[in-house]
Structure formats: structure tokens, C-alpha cells
Amino acid sequence: MRVVVAEDLVLLREGLIRILETTGFEVVAAVGNGPSLVRALTTHRPDVAIVDVRLPPNFADEGLRAAIAVRKQIPGLPIVVLSQYVEQLYARELVADRAGAVGYLLKDRVLDVGRFVADVRQVAAGSTVLDPDVVRALLTHRAADPVLLKLSPREHEVLALMAEGRSNAAIATRMFVTEKTVSKHITTVFTKLGLGLSENHHRRILAVLAYLERPVGA
């Protein structure tokens, strides 16, 4: 699987390259700024790109902007964005096109190599992956929504795990319940949120994100 890496910190960039190459990826380009990222993505058209939000020259949101710009040229290009902190605006903007094949992960996630690699592969396959801390931030932001208040604590937990991109089996394992129980919770959650049910993992994650992004009380 071919990968482009964009990270201005040399040590982290080299660490990402080593992790990826030792787990079966081919790093076709490793860059340290926004313009170089655009060139690398359009030239190599990788299977997935791993991009730091903040890149030179301004260290604002150059990495994210470059990724979004290239996805307009190459629709659906898989992008995993790395960030030092939870930045809700960036998370919402990244998934706004509803095309999937995107991830928003905190850099600490790289420390769990197995999970990080699995997340990258999941995004490359077309799924949406959000860091648990990002999901919690989105839910906290909507804590006063009267619809969310209708959810039981168990249903709230299922919603968060679902938005992270976890399968029913993974949710069941995390919650120490059966998959049948998880399925019932998901049906109830979607009913209360007014969302259509879907057996497609990617579509149900996008449905949850669509709910989390709409105006409170809508």
C-alpha cells in the first residue's frame, strides 16, 4: 500500500516512516510543508496520505487545506489527518464532503502502533475514523441538545463508539454485552435521533456525524 507522509517535525516524520515501512506500507514521499504535500499527492496519487494539520509556512492549517484541495482534484483520496489537540472545526471540515476515506487522529494515537496502523488501513479502505477524544468533544459540544438528552447512558456510549467507527462486534466487546444487545441499542439510538438505519458501516458513521454537526435543537 503506497503512502505519502506530511509532517514538519523530522523525528516524528522519520518515526512514521519506520512504523509504516515495517508494517507493510510503501512510503512513496515524505514532505514537510503544504506546497510539497500538494505536489506529492497529485504526482504519486497514493493509496492513503498521513497529514499533520499544521505545516509550514504558517503553521496554521496548511496540511488540512492541502488535503482538502487535493481531494477536490482526486475525489475520495484517503486522508488521515494528525493533530496535537482536538480541534472540532478541523474535524467537521474534514468529513464535510461525506465522501468518506478520512481519519482525524490525535498524535498520541501513534504510540499504539497496532491500532494506528489498523486505523490507516481502515481509512485506505474507504471508512471514516475519528479519534475517541474527537468524538467526546463533539458530543460534549452538543450536551444541551434535547434529543441527545433522551438517550440513556448506555445508548450514549453506543453512539460514541459507533461514531469512532467501531463494528457491532467491537462495541459488544468494549461494553461486555452481546452483539444482539448492541444491535438493539443502535436501533433505539437511530430512532431517537431520527436517522435512517443502515447496515453499511461507513454510511451509519456519516449519519451519526451528520447529526452531531447540525444546529442544536434542529
Domains along the chain with CATH numbers: 2-131 (3.40.50.2300), 142-213 (1.10.10.10)
Distance CA 94, CA 180 (A): 32
pLDDT of residue 111: 87
pLDDT of residue 118: 93
**DSSP letter, residue 198:** -
- Supply the pTM of this predicted model: 0.76
pLDDT of residue 28: 98
- Three-state DSSP class for residue 206: helix
Cα-based distances in Å from 135 to 4, 20, 212: 26, 26, 9
Task: Judge contact between 138 and 88, C-beta under 8 A.
Answer: yes
pLDDT of residue 5: 97
Residue 108, C-beta contacts closer than 8 angstroms, at least 6 positions apart: none
pLDDT of residue 213: 63
pLDDT of residue 151: 86
* DSSP H helix total and E strand total for the chain: 10, 6
SS (H, E, C) 80-124: EEEECCCCHHHHHHHCCCCCCCEEEEEHHHHHCHHHHHHHHHHHH
Residues lower than pLDDT 50 in the chain: none
Look-up of cell digits 497514493: 46
Q: Note the pLDDT tens digit of each residue in 176-200.
A: 999 999 999 988 988 887 777 666 6
Alpha-carbon Rg for the chain, nearest whole angstrom, is 18
Helical (H) or strand (E) element with 4 = strand 2-6
pLDDT of residue 62: 86
Look-up of cell digits 512513496: 28
- The single-letter code of the amino acid at 111 is L
Residue 126, judged by CB atoms within 10 A of its CB (0-12, 13-18, 19+), counts as middle
